[in-house]
Every structure is written in structure tokens, then in C-alpha cells.
Amino acid sequence: MNRRKQHRNTRKRRLLRLEKQKLRRERKRQRRRGKDWRSILTWAMQIAIVCFIAFVLVWFWGQRVSNAGISMKPVLENGDVVLVNRIVYNASRPKRNDVIVFKPNGNENSNYYIKRIIGLPGETVQIVDGYVYINGEELEESSSVTEIDDPGIAAEPLQLAGDEYFVLGDNRLASEDSRMADVGNVKRSEIYGKAWLVVSPLSHFGPLKKK
């Protein structure tokens, strides 16, 4: 009788041990599944963050615009592809000598123009005998820019509004810019961004040269 009772007790203890072992294994599996899900979520969040950063970099710093023509020679050659910084002017105003990208008169069907800012909002611009005057004083410019043989509408003083910029190409003998009535002054809202890096061809790769 005692032997039978002992056998039953031993069997109960063995079953209890097996049950505890099964419970421990189940808990381990649940912990592993929880870790797996946390790992998957962490991985997914990292991928999402990387994609977001890549999108921001491409959208704000990686917009590519191709330069057409030789109006910005020697800074840019025909066919050079530049990256455009689209957020720089959210934090600061366009400055004189910045090379900007814009569409004349905000015409969405037009190609992008790449020119250099010469006149700032509120200033008076005039071209006399091939020289640029700002508020009646001659503007000091680099020797790399060509002479101006056609002042266009800037032959008379041009008063810039509070949101307007006067732009010229560095190669003034072959540039369609603010001297032409169909381009005129560039409004702040028409500026797409600041050209800052030449990415193609590789022989021209690097930051935009200063004039």
C-alpha cells in the first residue's frame, strides 16, 4: 500500500516537473517571440527613418537641374548638372552673387534658368557704358564676367520691389536675364533654390566656383 502510494506521489511529482518544464519552455518561446517582434519593429523604424532622411536629402539638397547654354561660363558649362538647395532660403534671404535657379515669371512650362543675383530688393539697378550701378554706385565685379554690350531695359534705372531680384549671367554676351523684358526681375516666390554643387560631368564635379 505504501509502495503504491509512493509510486503515485512520484508520478505526480514527475508530471508536475514536466508541467513546469513545459510552462518554462512556453514562456521562453513567448519571450523569444516578443523579442523577435521588437527586433522587427526596431528594424522597420530604422528603415523608415533612413528612407525619410534620404527623401529629405534628395528633395531639399538633391534636386538636379541641367544648365542649358553658356550664359554662366566659366562657372557652368552647357550641360552641367547641378544640385539645388531648396531650403537655404527658408532660413536666410538670397544674397548678392548667389547663383539661383528659377523659372521666369513663374512660368511652369519654362525651363529652369540659372543666373547670379546682382540687385537686391529695394535697390535701384542701372547699366551704364557696360558697368552695373547699384543705387548710383558702380558695382565691383570679378574680372571673369564679360562686358555688357546690351543693357536692355536696365539702360534706365530699375527700382526693385520688396520681393524682387535683378539677375545676370556671368557671360553677359550670351545671357538671357533680367535685362530682357520677357525675363525681367525675379520675384522671391519664383526662386526654386540655390545652385551649390556640380554633379555631372565628373570632370566638373565639385562646389560651384566663385566668380
- Whether 86 and 196 have beta carbons less than 8 Å apart is answered as no
Answer yes or no: 115 catalytic.
Answer: yes
Of the candidates 115, 88, 89, which has an alpha carbon nearest to the alpha carbon of residue 103? 115
Answer yes or no: 71 catalytic.
Answer: yes
pTM: 0.72
Q: How confident is the model at residue 130 (pLDDT cuts 50, 70, 90)?
A: very high
Write the DSSP assignment of 111-145 as a string of letters: PPEEEEEEE-TT-EEEEETTEEEETTEEPP--TTS
Q: How confident is the model at residue 50 (pLDDT cuts 50, 70, 90)?
A: low
- Average pLDDT over all residues of the chain: 85
Q: What is the pLDDT of residues 5-16, one digit of tens each?
A: 565 666 666 766
Q: What is the pLDDT of residues 139-178, one digit of tens each?
A: 998 777 888 999 999 999 999 999 999 999 999 999 999 9
Q: Which residues pair with 167 in a beta bridge?
A: 117
Q: Of 73, 115, 175, 194, which one is the catalytic site residue?
A: 115
